[in-house]
Structure 1
Amino acid sequence: MSALRHFRSKAGLSQAALASAAGTSQPQIKRLETGERTLTKDWAERLAPHIGIDARTLLFPPADLANEGGDDSTPPPPGRSQMPDIASNVIVPPEAEHVDTGAFKGPRNVPVYGTGSGGDGKGDFTLNGQIIDHAPRPPGITNRKDVYVVYLVGDSVSPKYEDGDPLYIDPHRRPQPRDYVFVEKRGEVEGEPGPALVKRLVKRGGGKLYLEQHIDPKELPPIDEADVVRVHRVIPWPELIGI
């Protein structure tokens, strides 16, 4: 049984309840419990308070936890000796070479805006208007001003970005076609947040915004830019780490 599933069950929470408390989705919790997605330090810090433990205990559970009952049937990923010997254009460092992931993290001073599930057909999610956390500032955006983070809700642009991924948003660099963009539409009530979505930009012109998605691949109906509060560029991962 995975540590996350063990402590969630012990806390008496369903996957859906934990997802709601942590601002993500039930499928994302399931992926973290089965090992389909890696339980990173950031995820542990985000989930642990809701199940009554600290992040370190979630990342490094007691050794006897694996001996407790459970019905997880997902096999562990194959070791290097089990993987097929195939030609590759990727160089993997020897396992003995430790990668200091801390070197990729800067000060935690990038504001994270809370999100909520959408599902009303008007957007993927909504912003709640509150800063809920601060994320690390990667080296590639050391001096970039006004960058902020949102957690993606939904799988419409998977596998480029998955449900629950933190997206770093640049409000100043104008998006170009094929960039992924964060779009916030106007709320139905003045002053309240409207529906938001993350898609890939096809083009913009004539007062229209043309977007596309990957799940159920299609170009979406154009959006009137007059109905849009902001169109901001999602910063690609290579740019974030400075390559």
Structure 2
Amino acid sequence: MASTIDMDAVRRILLEATTGESGQSARGLSLAAGLNADAVRDILRGKSGQAKIDTLAALAKALKIDLSEFLGSGSVNVPLPVPNLEIDPPSPSFSGNAANFPNDVPIVGTAQGADFALEQDGLAVLIEQTEMMPGEIRGYTRRPPRISGNKAIYAMQVAGSSMEPRFEIGEVIYVDPRRIPGIGDYVVVQLRNGDDEVICAMVKRLARRNASTIELEQFNPQQRFSLKTCQVAAVHRVVPWSEMLG
């Protein structure tokens, strides 16, 4: 009898590999296996359905385990902890005179967060969001001359793929909390929790705004959705490179 793929066992093994202090990131494991950067994350979230055998073979090789550990006839009911989707913030590439820019723009802590569930036209929609730790500084990046006088600007790392191809996973963006964004600007939308503490944010494009709602757009997958202003703590404008270097 041919073995079947036990997706519970697959997720359990992948979770063990991507959680804990010694665990690598889901993105790192995907890339180590030669797969799409979101492959492991999609399996953990159940987005990929039944994983293909060649995908599992690549993951088994990267994990240095036997493929048979992903196969079986039964299923195991295990709790699914939050995987380690955090990635270390790289610095943007600077060369020539730009390498002499002050290295003092703080990079705030971010990590891939759980999807944000909302109702859109009577349907449940899951929107990618980012865990944000405003008080945790992961490092610093260069300050181009055009923003030398604005010490409020901070940087953050894009932790998800919902804005590809405009913003790639791992890309560092500069954010200005002082300048009011206009329609069509890219923004970081900070979300409230029950205690008014900012713990999550969304990197999106501002599509429309009024006194009661804010409409946002993402590219991957293509989606427009609305948030009530009471859910939003702040909307900060992403500073285009053309403004910083032009």
**Aligned position for 2:185:** 179
Q: CA deviation at 1:19?
A: 11
1:166 to 1:32, Cα distance in 2 relative to 1, 3 A: farther
**Aligned position for 1:232:** 236
The match for 1:108 among 103, 110, 114 is: 103
In the alignment of these two chains, the number of paired residues is 165
**Aligned position for 1:200:** 205
Cα contact 1:201–1:210 (8 A) shared by 2: yes
The unaligned stretches of length 5 or more in structure 1 are: 1-13, 38-69, 72-99
**Aligned position for 1:223:** 227
Work out the CA distance in 2 between the residues paired with 1:31 and 1:237.
28
Q: CA deviation at 1:216?
A: 1.4
What TM-score results when the alignment is normalised by the length of structure 1? 0.58
Cα contact 1:113–1:149 (8 A) shared by 2: yes
**Aligned position for 1:130:** 136
Work out the CA distance in 2 between the residues paired with 1:15 and 1:239.
41
1:139 to 1:16, Cα distance in 2 relative to 1, 3 A: farther
Q: CA deviation at 1:117?
A: 1.8
**Aligned position for 2:165:** 159
SS of alignment partner, residue 108 of structure 1: coil
Work out the CA distance in 1 between the residues paired with 2:140 and 2:190.
21
Cα contact 2:198–2:233 (8 A) shared by 1: no
Q: Residues 98-130 of structure 1: CA distance to partner in whole angstroms, max 9, x if unpaired? A: xx8042241111111101221232551111231
SS of alignment partner, residue 199 of structure 1: strand
Cα contact 1:180–1:233 (8 A) shared by 2: yes
Work out the CA distance in 2 between the residues paired with 1:166 and 1:206.
31
Q: CA deviation at 1:32?
A: 9.1
Identity of aligned residues (%): 31
Q: CA deviation at 1:30?
A: 5.3
Q: CA deviation at 1:149?
A: 0.8
1:33 to 1:173, Cα distance in 2 relative to 1, 3 A: farther
Q: CA deviation at 1:209?
A: 0.6
What does 1:21-60 align with in structure 2 at a 5 Å threshold? 26-27=26-27
Work out the CA distance in 2 between the residues paired with 1:18 and 1:158.
28
Which one has a larger percent strand, Structure 1 or Structure 2? 2
Cα contact 1:19–1:29 (8 A) shared by 2: no
Q: Report the RMSD for the aligned CA atoms in angstroms.
A: 3.2
